[in-house]
Each structure stands twice: as C-alpha cells, then as structure tokens.
Structure 1
C-alpha cells in the first residue's frame, strides 16, 4: 500500500531536508567508528590538516541521498516515468552507488590511478548503455545543436562522467571546499532542472544538495571529518549524471551548455592542472599543489577566505547559468554574484597583503 501523494512542489524540498537530516545524524556515528578502527587520513606534505582525520564522511552523504530518494520514490514523487527516463534515473542512482564503492575501496586499500580510472570508465560505459548518454553537442559562439552518432556519444559521455568525478575529487583539498562547491552546484542544477521541466532529475539534485550542505556542519573549517574518495566520487558522478539526464537531453542550445557552465569551476581547475602538468613533462596523475586553492593559499589568502572565494566563483558561474536559462531575475542574480566575487577577491587580497611581513 502506497502513502498518499504530497503536492509535487514539495518533493524537492522534502528530498533536500531528509538528506540533510540523515547526514547530520549519521556523520558523528561514522566519525566515531572511523576513529575506533583507525581509518584516518594522516597529515602530509600536500595536506593542510595537522592531525589524523577520518575520511569516511562520504558514507553519510551517500546514505542521506539514498534515503531521500527512496522516500520520495515511495511517496510517488517521481511520478509515472516513461521507460527510457526510468532507466536513466536508475542509471544515475546505481552508477552513483558503484562510483561510491570504487571510492570507498580506494579509501580502504589505496587503489592505483590506472585501476581507479579503468573501473570508473567501465561503470560510465555501463550507464551509457542504459540511457545516461550525451547525444547532443553544441559549439560555443557558433550555435546549433548537433546529434552525436553512437560511436562518438560513448567516449564523450565517459569523458564527461569520469572527468567530473575526478574534478570534484581533486578540489577536495581544503575543509568544506568540495562539499560547498558541490552543494551550490547541485542547488543550481535543481533550479534549472525544474525550469526545463525535468522533475525527476531535480529530485536527484535536491537529495545531493541536502547531503552536501548538511555535511558542511562537520566539514567546514575546522573540519571534524573528511568525505574521502567515496564521497567525492559519488558526488562528482551524480552531479555529472544529473547534468546529462536533466539538461543535455534538451533540444535547446543553452540547455545543452548549462551543466558545463554550472560545473565550470571544478572542471576548469582540473583541465588547467592537467595541462600544466603535461607542459612540465609530468604525469597528469601526479599529485601536486597546482590547484586553484593551493595557488590562493600561496598568495596569502587564509584557509576560510580561499574556500569562500571559490564558493563565490561557483555561485557566479551558476548564476550566469540561471540567466541563460531565462530564470526570472536570472541576470540580476548573475550581475550581483559577479560583483560579490570581485568584492570578496579585493577584500581578501587586501587582508593577505596586510598579513605579509
């Protein structure tokens, strides 16, 4: 027997709140178990923390998102989906589970980069088979939407899903950075998905947003727990998957471009670092301090100001996506967020200069 249906407009809010609540309640339990078992991330040369930290917070984020989706599914929040759309939702949900398990295995056993990459590509190809695929492409400043043949759709989709997964993983270098950037991005995806009438994708985005922002209760500086690779892989894949099934499926130029704009900050950070490493004759997988947050810290920005500034950049990119999606007052939000980033950068720069000897 199913529960009575709730008003459709309440389902995303319900998913957000349930996910956040589950994360807030389960994270202390996960942290306690991690400390008891010694499952911690030790300080190191590339690390900014100075004491062992439990890195299993992704378990709470995954549980929160899953609980929210199962509850809204039981209440009828996903409605009656066409068979192809149902496969897409299951593809993102189950794909997120497998990516989470890959990351969790890396947290426990420190998998090699090649092993991780091959596993991610295999899962991404699997979800492509069930319909989570990029069939449309547009060229910026040229316009027009182009239908991709299957032989090209597969590598493009795998590149996007695996690339965004690792982009979120790579920015997880400061307390609260990956969770905050992902939470902001998920909220923007939620708003745009609703605007282009993709309520199922919006529910997935809402559950993820609640999990990420709820996790900040324990992850913002000074952090008590890290999300680990399990959390960042799950978040990165889910963000990329929602972008595909919620926006890229649309037959409008701007909708096809929106997920790339919303997730521009982690994506550009990853691309810049890879190119910089290759230019230096190093492996693109070699860990170093070339990421945006490392450069801001080196420039004298404090830990918190670095994180807040990158939050601002993410909000700015997302606000421009709202503007291009013709969300009411979208351009006002975009201009306001751009001015906010300028002010944040200027004030942070002034403070960093005063703190220099």
Structure 2
C-alpha cells in the first residue's frame, strides 16, 4: 500500500503507546500477586540495595503490554501503513524480543550460567540477523558510509544486539533506573524514527515506551516489583533492534550514529565497568559495585537523586540526538536538557561526600 499521511501514522503510534501502558498498569499487580503466592522473590543481600524480598517478574507485564499493543495495531490494520518490507522487520524484532525475554525469564526462575546466557543470546541474535535485523552500514571518519559485507555485518550485529541487551541488564540495579532510562531512550527513538519516516521502528518504540514508563508506576523508588532479567533482556534487545531497523538502515551518516548517542549512558557504563574489571585482573562478568549508580550511592547520594541524575544524563544525550538528527527545535531541546543536567549535577555535587 502507498505510504499514508503523517497524522494517521501518528495515531497508530499513539494507540500503541497507550495500549502498552494500560496493559502494564493493569497486569503488574496480578503478576506480583501470582509471584508472591509461588514464592518467586528476590532476596536481599550482597550487591543488592533492597532490604526485603521483592518480586522480580515485572518483565512479564512489560512484554505483555508491548506485544498487546503491536497485536492491536496489527488487528486494526495499522501495519497497512507500512512499506511492504517493514512488517517483516517488526515481527523479526518482536519474535527476537520474545526469545530474549524467555532467556531472561529462565534465568529469573532457574538461574543460568553466564556462558549459557551468552550462548543463547548469540543464537537468537544470529537468527535475528538472518531475518533482516542487520547493521548494513558503518560510518568511517573522512570516508563516510561504508556498506558492510555479510561476514562483517554478522558479528557486528551480534555484538550490538547482545551487548545492548546486557547493558540494560547491568544498569537494572536501582528502583526505576532501567525502566526510566529505557523509557526515555524509547521516546527519543520514537521521535527520531517518525521524523526519518521509519514507521515500523517507531511502532515498536512507541509500544516499548508505553510499557516501560507505565511500569514506573510500580517500579520507581520505593519499588513494589522488579522487572528481572526477563524484562531487561527484552527491553535491551528491543531498543537495539529498533536502532537497527529504524536508524542504522537509513543511509545517512547522522542516522547511523544516532542509536549509539541515544543509548550512550548504558553503553558507556558497561564499557567502563568491563575495562575496569579487566584492568584489575577480573572477569568482565564478575558482579561487583563498579557501575555508575553504585559509585554515586557510595559518594553519599540518595537512591532517588542517583536515579534522577542518570535520567537527566539520558535525557541530555537523547536531546543531542534530536538536534543531531535535524529535528525542528532540536537545539532548543538540547539547551533545555543541558540546563536540567546542570541543575542535577549541582545537586549531586552538593550532596556528594
């Protein structure tokens, strides 16, 4: 079908956002109730900052919300607004997200070794690449866009999908942190995807944004429920997938780098932790308190101020991405986010030891 007007496209994306948020708001209490009855709780201790047993299956609600939103948009004919090849990509990211969700859920329920988790993630990411979720271009300074052969595209895509999945999982250490950071990133991806006429990626981003932001109703400090590995794996893969099918596939230098700007906070946090662990002779998979949120807490910041500061960082890099993409008023958004980050940075310096 021919591409439809922007207002109709926007309507379906609004429906996806609202449906996902409503489903999450309605199902999360039921998930919590069922998990408590079955004894599926996360006990305090070690690196964990919570002081009482907590349900860590909130990712079930997030996944159900996003999936319900996409199915309703599909059922009402919303996929008809997409270019012919884009519906296939939506299902590729959605089914890949389901597989990553199940890997995380299995880890939540039974516990999987780091090697087994990485192995299963690699298999699913390879399958996603095979159905078209591929990084096909790379931007090289002074050379511009370079088309990648399959033997390079495949490992780069695997590293991106698996790496981003674990980056979101690693920042899921404080109430509301991963959900808020992911929600902000999803809203920015939604905005950029619509601006760049990538409605398929925008639909997934809208559903994910609604689910993650709706989940904050129960997950912000003091949290009533955690998303668990199932939730963080699903969110991480979906954000990475949206970046691939919506932005990286756009043949423009600015578009290729946008996902890395939008997701800079979890990417840099994970990279810094891995380098620090290797430098100290430890495995990069050894759990410790080297993450940004751990360091801010150790500096004397409150739980909420730590989370809000990282939110402001995420919003700031997101606003830079909006300006970089050429979105109208993007520079104004960046200046506003810079002012907000300056204020939260002042609060951090004021309260830090």
- The residue number in structure 2 matching 1:3 is none
Moved over 4 A (4+): 80-83
Provide the rounded CA distance (Å) in 2 between the counterparts of 1:27 and 1:80: 31
In the alignment, the residues of structure 2 paired with residue 195 and residue 145 of structure 1 have an alpha-carbon distance, to the nearest angstrom, of: 21
**Structure 2 residues not aligned, in runs of 5+:** 1-6
State whether residues 78 and 199 of structure 1, in contact with CA within 8 Å, keep that contact through their aligned partners in structure 2.
no
Q: Is the 8 A contact 1:172 1:178 kept in 2?
A: yes
3-state secondary structure, aligned to 1:327 = coil
Q: The residue matched to 1:79 in structure 2 has which SS?
A: helix
Which residue does 2:275 correspond to in 1? 275
Alignment deviations for residues 271-327 of structure 1 (CA, whole Å, 9 cap, x no partner): 110011011110000000000000111111110000000000000000000001111
Contact 2:62–2:212 (CA under 8 A) maintained in structure 1: yes
Structure 1 equivalent of residue 284 of structure 2 = 284
2:179, 2:213 within 8 Å by CA — same for their partners in 1? yes
Query: 1:157 corresponds to which residue?
Result: 157
Counterparts of residues 47-86 of structure 1 (less than 5 Å): 47-79=48-80, 81-82=82-83, 84-86=85-87
Mapped pair 1:146 → 2:146:
yes
TM-score (norm 1): 0.95
For this pair of structures, how many residues does the alignment match?
Answer: 348
Q: In the alignment, which residue of structure 2 is the partner of 1:300? A: 300
CA distance in 1, matches of 2:8, 2:197: 16
Distance of 1:270 and 1:190 partners within structure 2? 24
2:226 pairs with 1:226? yes
Give the Cα–Cα distance (whole angstroms) in 2 for the partners of residues 39 and 326 of structure 1.
47
* Cα deviation code 1:180-239 (max 9, x no counterpart): 000000000000000000011101000000000000000000000000000000000000
Q: Shift of the alpha carbon at 1:83?
A: 5.0
State whether residues 301 and 349 of structure 1, in contact with CA within 8 Å, keep that contact through their aligned partners in structure 2: no
User: Cα offset for 1:88?
Assistant: 1.6
Question: What is the correspondence of 1:145-224 to structure 2 with a 5 Å cutoff?
Answer: 145-224=145-224
Q: Does residue 247 of the first structure (1) align with residue 247 of the second (2)? A: yes
Aligned to 1:344: 344
- Please give the alpha-carbon distance, in whole angstroms, between the structure 2 residues aligned to 1:236 and 1:151: 24
8 Å CA contact 1:189–1:243 kept in 2: the answer is yes
Query: Distance between the aligned counterparts of 2:143 and 2:334, measured in 1?
Result: 22
Q: Which residue of 1 aligns with 2:4?
A: none
Deviation at 1:347, TM superposition (A): 1.6
CA distance in 2, matches of 1:19, 1:81: 20
How far apart are the structure 1 equivalents of 2:79 and 2:318? Answer: 25
**8 Å contact kept, 1:84–1:131:** no
Residue in 1 aligned with 2:323?
323
Q: Which runs of 5+ in 1 are unaligned?
A: 1-5
Q: Deviations over 1:105-143 (max 9, x none)?
A: 00011100000000000000001000000000013x546
Q: Tell me, what secondary structure is at the counterpart of 2:241?
A: helix
CA distance in 2, matches of 1:247, 1:8: 17
Partner residue in 2 for 1:16: 17
Instruction: State the 1:345 CA deviation.
Output: 1.2
SS in 2 for 1:78: helix
Q: Secondary structure at the match of 1:328?
A: coil
Distance 1:23 1:129 in 2: 31
Alpha-carbon distance in 2 for matches of 1:215, 1:30: 12
TM-score by length of 2: 0.96
User: 1:342: how far off?
Assistant: 1.5
- Which residue matches 1:93? 94
Root-mean-square deviation (CA, aligned residues, Å) is 1.3
Once the two structures are superposed, residues 58-104 of structure 1 have per-residue CA deviations (whole angstroms, 9 ceiling, x without a partner) of 00000000000000111121225455433221110100000000000
Q: CA deviation at 1:40?
A: 0.5
